[in-house]
Amino acid sequence: MLAGPMAVVAVAVGFAAQGLAPRPYGAAQGELLDALIDTPPPAQDTTTAAEQLRRLEARRATPQATSTSTSTSRLGLAEPEAGPGVDLEIRVALLGAGANPDLSASGAWQVVSRDGQLLQQGGAGSSVNLNELWLQGPEAWLQTSGTSVLVNGRPYGGRLRLIPESGGLRVVNHVGLETYIGAVVGAEMPSSWSLEALRAQAVAARSYALAHMARPANRHWHLGDTTRWQAYKGLSSSNERTRQAASSTAGMILSYQGAIVESLYAANRQISLEAHGHLGASMSQHGAQDLAMQGYRYNQILGHYYQGASLARLKAGAS
C-alpha cells in the first residue's frame, strides 16, 4: 500500500449514505452453501452484499485485558475477548487481469448467469470461452467445485464475477474476508517475518478492508488488488504462516470512537512519512518487524503506530 486518505469510517453511516439495508452474512451462510449445492446462486449486487455489515457490532476491549508483563505494555492496545467470528464476503477487482484473461479452475467449473442459468461448464484446466460469454448476457459468474478459480493461471479463492465493459472484461473476486486477509499479509510482507509483525499486518489490512467495504470504490467492487489499495495476489501469496496471522486475529480491527480506522501503512518509515505524514497515523512494515524482533507483540506494535486507537472484534448483531 502506498497512499490513501486517512479516515475513520462509521459502517452504519456509510451504508445509510448509500441507501442500503444489510443483513448479517454469518446467519445466511448455511443457506448460501445449500444454494451452491442445489442450484447456482444468483449474483449478489451491491445492496445484497452490503447487507452483510448492517448488524455487525464492534465489541471493544476492556482496559483490564492489557498485559502488564513488560515495560512496553504501555504501548499495547487492549485485546478484545474471543468470540464467534463472522466471515464476510469482500469484492476485489482484479485490475491486472487484463481485458481478455484466461479463466479456468482447479476443478470442474460452471459459468452461470445472474439468475442462475447455466451458460458454460468445463473440467479442471479447461478455459472459459470468452467469445460466447459476450453473447450470453450483461454479466456472469464463474464458480468451481475445486479449491480455486484461476485467472491467467493464478489461483483465487471464492468465485469470480465477470462484467463486460467497453473494450474488455472486468473480473471481480468475491471471496471470504479472512481468506483475503491471509493473502494480503503474504503479498504485503515476507511470510518469513516474525508472526507478531504478520499479525499486526493482518489487523491493519482487515481494518483497511472493512473501511472500504463501508465505502466501496465502485458499485461492483470494494477495492482493487494494486498498491493503490492493498497488494493482493490470490492464494499464491497465502501460506500456513499468513493464514495463521489472519486466523489468530480473526475479526479484529482498529477502532476509534466506535468507527473503523482506515489503517494506512507503507514499507518503511520514510515512505510512510512521505505518503501519509500529512494524513495521520501510518505503520512502517519494516518498523513493525524491527519491533517484533525486540519482543513486541502485535497489539504493542499497533499501539506504537496507531496511538489513540483501540482494538475491536466484529461480531454478528441481534436480528
Tens digits of residue pLDDT in 202-217: 999 999 899 889 888 8
Predicted pLDDT at 276 = 43
Cell numbers linked to 37: 449445492
Report the pLDDT value the prediction gives residue 82, as an integer from 0 to 100: 78
| HSE toward the beta carbon, residue 97, CA cutoff 13 A | 32
> How does pLDDT run across 38-48, given as a tens digit for each residue?
223 334 454 55
Q: How many CB atoms lie within 10 A of CB 39?
A: 12
Least confident residue range of 30-34, 135-139, 147-151: 30-34
- What pLDDT, in 10s, does the model give residues 92-116? 999 999 989 999 999 999 999 988 8
Give the mean model confidence (pLDDT) for residues 7-17. Answer: 32
| Residue 291 scores a pLDDT above 60 | yes
Query: What are the respective helix, strand and coil percentages of the chain, to the nearest 5?
Result: 35, 25, 45
Average pLDDT over residues 130-150: 88
C-alpha cell recorded at residue 208: 483497511
Q: In the chain, count H helices and then E strands.
A: 10, 17
Distance CA 160, CA 141 (A): 6
Q: Which helix (H) or strand (E) holds 131?
A: helix 130-133
Q: What percent of the chain stands above pLDDT 70?
A: 70
